[in-house]
Structure 1
Amino acid sequence: MMAEKISFVSKNHVGWGAIQHLNEEAAALGAKKILVVTDPFLVDLGMVDKILNKLDSKFEINLYTKVSPEPSLEMGEELVAYTRENKSELVIGIGGGSALDLAKIAAVLATHDGKVKDYLNISGTRQLENKGLPKILIPTTSGTGSEITNISVLALESTKDVVTHDFLLADVAIVDPELTLSLPPKITASTGIDALTHAIEAYVSINASPTTDALAIKAIQLIGKSIRKAVKEGNDVQARTDLSYGSYLAGLAFYNAGVAGVHALAYPLGGKFHIAHGESNAVLLPYVMEYIRSSCKKRMTDIYGALGYNPLQLSEEEASIKCVEQLRNLVKDVGIPLTLKEFNIEETDLQDLTKDAINQKRLLGRSPMPLLAEDIYSIYKAAYDGTAAQ
């Protein structure tokens, strides 16, 4: 086995009440003029005021709320231009993955020339040269892992692309489960399955290591035992805490081991049909894992056990099949559709989705089973019909 390179955000505050550390961390970064990038509905809920009230009055705060789910490249361009013009000194991202991804891009590209599109992974031609502005990332969902990864995802016309570099890593991540208490059931479900997908794909990734395996399995355990209750009983403190820690550990796992086929096929669903990223992952998760099952039976047996089921009396063949069944049940139990039809996708769309997904080579390269265009189409067709892929 080759030596593994493990990277983490340099400073993390994790757990109930972690938000109390915001002021000391902002002060330590030495900035006075703060740009806060956040979701407008969090402002309406009063959560942003609650968080920003932790800061001393000496800080000059500029609130930016032009954030929406599945942020577009145009949204990123507008925010970067705004950040440059306002000469911000520190960026704080508050919210779900969309707000955090935009905050990262704003902080890094504020000190670069050119457009955001110049730095995209698939089509960009420029390389990031410096870390940019310091950034503090505060998630209010349990799912995306954006606060501890080096990736920002943007929607293009029919798919998604990313800006990815360690310069995008937060200086400080603050993960406080208390901030997720007001999260609606639908968002709790989609972001929770997103986190579970991160952990599962990291565990079966060809880049998995003993370190990422430990993070991924613990994340699966925590999410598996908490997500149903967190969706149905949103004020349950233990469920919210377990889901928050599970999401955090899943983020650390997939940042280092990577995600693969599920995400590669999910990106076009978000780009073309504007389906929430977590729901895109959720609807595809059972079908992708069913298709690649023969390449990772032992690992899927481990996942089955981590989800809370006993694989000891089963063969790896039997346990891996049951693992797929339980993933399908979990998606159903939290209220996410199990077929592409239910998202109003037509069978005639599957070829275009396949053409977009095959371009996600960064993601597909980590799959334990190579996925060619015909494989990808088969998975989409299975997810459309609600049947096993042929």
Structure 2
Amino acid sequence: MPKDLTQIISDLVLDWENPKRIVFGRGQTKNLGSILNSYMQVKSAVIVTDENIEKAGILEKVTSSLNGTGIKTDIFKIPVHEPDMDTANNVANYAHSKGFDAVIGVGGGSAMDMGKLMAMMKTNPGKPLDYCALPPDALSEKVKNRPVPEILIPTTAGTGSEQSNALVFIENGYKTWITSNKLYATLALVDPENTFTTPPNATRSSGMDAMSHLLEGLVSSLHNPVSDGTIIEGVKLVYDYLPRSYNNGNDVEARTALSLASTMGGWVLSLPWINGPATIGHCLSEGFGPKLNIPHGLACGLMLPHVIDFNRNFIGERMKKVLIALEPNEDYFYFTTQEAIDVLIKKIVELLKAVEINPAVKYNTKESKDIFFSMIDYVLNERQYLYNLPAYNPRRLTKDNLTNLFEDIWEGKFTTNEF
């Protein structure tokens, strides 16, 4: 049975790190140059970004802010898709062959992750795969040398990469990652204005990614009061402001609130007791997303009702707190935990509907059900241990409950006739 709060506090031992400096606020991109000059000595930097960021005018804002600083810059553009091994190897080759003393990652999670990789590979030999979380030592520290300084500037609200100690790319059809406390940003600059040009589909995908970081952090068996409060407030921000951001990209209040929620979620996901977050949600979504050609955040959103439902017998009290935060209806105080979970799942499905996401995986992919179900044995026998699910996910996986879960996800157990 799950521990109650008294047991959690009595047993609590915490040790965590964060980015060295976090700057949040509208219009802060223009201050990048002065911040760097006052905070660190940088002579040359490579800016890791992509073509869409340049077209949106955000890259020009970054380079203009560096005018007069004496910082020489080069641009490294990655392809406009989730990074794969080819992209990761190209980043490593560039890092090993060029001269620079800092990296500025500008973009969504992909550009920031490849910015981290660029900074790491500048000071570490070999290939990216040498440092990945792979068996038999998936959980060991592999990054030996501290990267050159990393400056991370998000242009979407959801991935939280600017706050995290990990980077992700696709290898052999599945997402793999490198994680180390050495990967934390030297400076995370979160300017909500940089998200105003994010298209609706990317807005909803990244927003659901933020919601997943937050809610899965509360599902974690190792959750505790340090992160719980941040999670509940962050969930409310996504719930209230994601539909507004999706429907009107120029809604300043909504965009700013969603950027704040993303920052909160990014902080949560890198905490060692959340670890990624290491629950069934990210374990499966980072598996089937690449296989089914579903964007990461969208895959995470599709998983959310099932993460809560699958673990419902272990997480009732904390999910009830989330429900009350989303809608302070005094009747909810008298609900059983199971009643509260049912209503919370309904609200998550309503959020998916509000941003035009059908909760059934089969309606979000052109790939076959057989490809989806081919993952079951891999998840059961290997992938769950890469995420250390036995330590973090409250409910243990079996062949039967995992097969039933896959069926529910594919068919959309919580799909209504309105979709």
TM-score strictly above 0.5: yes
Alignment map for 1:81-120 (pairs within 5 Å) = 81-120=93-132
Q: State the distance in 2 between where 1:64 and 1:270 align.
A: 26
Alignment counterpart, residue 350 of structure 1, candidates 343, 361, 372:
372
For 1:387, the equivalent position in structure 2 comes to 413
Equivalent in 64, 71, 89 of residue 77 of structure 1:
89
Paired letter, 1:336: I
Q: How does 1:202-213 map to 2 (within 5 A)?
A: 202-213=217-228
Post-superposition Cα deviations, 1:175-194, rounded to whole Å, max 9, x if no partner, equal 11111111111111010011
Distance 2:312 2:100 in 1: 48
1:231-265: CA deviation from partner (whole Å, max 9, x where unpaired) = 11111111111111111111111211231111000
When residues 124 and 15 of structure 1 are mapped into structure 2, their CA distance, relative to the original with a 3 A threshold, is: farther
Q: Counterpart of 1:361?
A: 385
User: Which one is further off, 133-142 or 250-259?
Assistant: 250-259
AA of the residue aligned to 2:245? A
User: Offset of 1:53 from its aligned partner?
Assistant: 0.6
Q: What residue ranges of structure 1 are gaps of 5+ in the alignment?
A: none
Match of 2:347 among 326, 347, 351: 326
* Aligned 1:266-285 pairs, distance under 5 A: 266-285=285-304
SS at 2:250's partner residue?
coil
- Partner residue in 1 for 2:400: 374
Output the CA distance in 2 between the equivalents of 1:309 and 1:142.
26
- Deviations 1:132-181, CA, capped at 9 Å, x for gaps: 21110000110001001001011112211110001111000001111111
Per-residue Cα deviation, 1:310-335 (whole angstroms, up to 9, x for no partner): 32242211111111111111112111
- 2 CA distance for matches of 1:65 and 1:315? 52
1:350 match: secondary structure: helix
Question: Deviation at 1:347?
Answer: 2.1
Kept in 2, the 8 Å contact 1:146–1:152? The answer is yes
Taking structure 2 as the reference length, the TM-score comes to 0.89
CA distance in 1, matches of 2:401, 2:28: 44
User: Which deviates more from structure 2 when the two are superposed, residues 143-152 or residues 58-67?
Assistant: 58-67
State the distance in 1 between where 2:123 and 2:320 align: 47
Q: Could you tell me which residue of structure 2 aligns to residue 6 of structure 1?
A: 16
Q: Kindly state the Cα deviation for residue 76 of structure 1 after the two structures are TM-superposed.
A: 0.7
1:101/1:360 CA distance change after superposition, 3 Å: farther
State the partner residue of 2:322: 303
1:127 partner SS: coil
Shift of 1:337: 2.6
Question: What are the Cα deviations for residues 279-310 of structure 1, in whole angstroms up to 9, with x where unaligned?
Answer: 11011111222121121111111122233353
CA RMSD of the aligned region, Å?
1.8
String of CA shifts for 1:87-112, please: whole Å, max 9, x gaps: 22110000000001111011012111
CA contact (8 A) 2:291 2:372 kept: no
Provide, for residues 45-66 of structure 1, a one-character-per-residue CA deviation record: whole Å limited to 9, x for no partner. 2211022211134221111112
Matches within 5 A, 1:167-178: 167-178=182-193
Q: Distance in 2 between matches of 1:124 and 1:11?
A: 34
Q: CA deviation at 1:375?
A: 2.7
Structure 2 Cα separation of the partners of residues 108 and 374 of structure 1: 41
TM-score normalised by length of structure 1: 0.95
Unpaired runs of 5+ residues, structure 2, are 1-10
In structure 1, how many angstroms separate the alpha carbons of the residues matched to 2:263 and 2:337?
Answer: 29
- Give the percent of matched residue pairs that are identical in Structure 1 and Structure 2: 28
Query: How far did residue 373 of structure 1 move?
Result: 4.0
- The one-character-per-residue Cα deviations of 1:333-367 (angstroms, maximum 9, x if unpaired) are 11123112111232212332223434142432311
1:38 aligns with 2:40: no
Measure the CA separation in 1 of the matches of 2:398 and 2:372. Answer: 14
Query: Which deviates the most, 17-26 or 49-58?
Result: 17-26
Does the 8 Å CA contact 2:289/2:296 hold for their aligned counterparts?
A: yes
Asked if residue 17 in structure 1 is aligned to residue 36 in structure 2, the reply is no
Are residues 1:49 and 2:49 paired?
A: no
Shift of 1:18: 2.3
Does the CA contact (< 8 Å) of 2:161 and 2:266 recur in 1?
A: yes
Distance 1:76 1:26 in 2: 27
Contact 2:160 2:266 in 1 (8 A): yes
Give the drift of 1:20: 3.2
1:110 counterpart letter in structure 2: K
User: Size of the alignment, in residue pairs?
Assistant: 389
CA contact (8 A) 2:88 2:117 kept: yes
> Which amino acid in the other structure matches residue 404 of structure 2?
S
**CA contact 2:291–2:371 (8 Å) conserved in 1:** no
Which SS does the other structure have where 1:152 is aligned? strand
Q: Give the match for residue 180 of structure 1.
A: 195
Taking the aligned partners of 2:372 and 2:56, their CA distance within structure 1 comes to 39
Q: What does 1:247-258 align with in structure 2 at a 5 Å threshold?
A: 247-256=262-271, 257-258=274-275
Which AA in structure 2 matches 1:174?
L
After the TM superposition, list the runs of 4 or more consecutive aligned residues in structure 1 that deviate by more than 3 angstroms: 123-126, 355-358
Q: Structure 1 stretch 298-307 or stretch 372-381: which is displaced more?
A: 372-381
Structure 2 letter corresponding to 1:239? A
- Determine the C-alpha separation between the residues in 2 that align with 1:379 and 1:321: 17
Q: 2:242 aligns with which of 223, 227, 230?
A: 227
Structure 1 residue 123: Cα displacement = 4.3
**Structure 2 Cα separation of the partners of residues 193 and 77 of structure 1:** 29
Alpha-carbon distance in structure 2 between the residues aligned to 1:336 and 1:388: 12
Once the two structures are TM-superposed, the CA of residue 274 in structure 1 deviates from its matched residue by 2.9
Deviates more, 1:171-180 or 1:284-293: 284-293
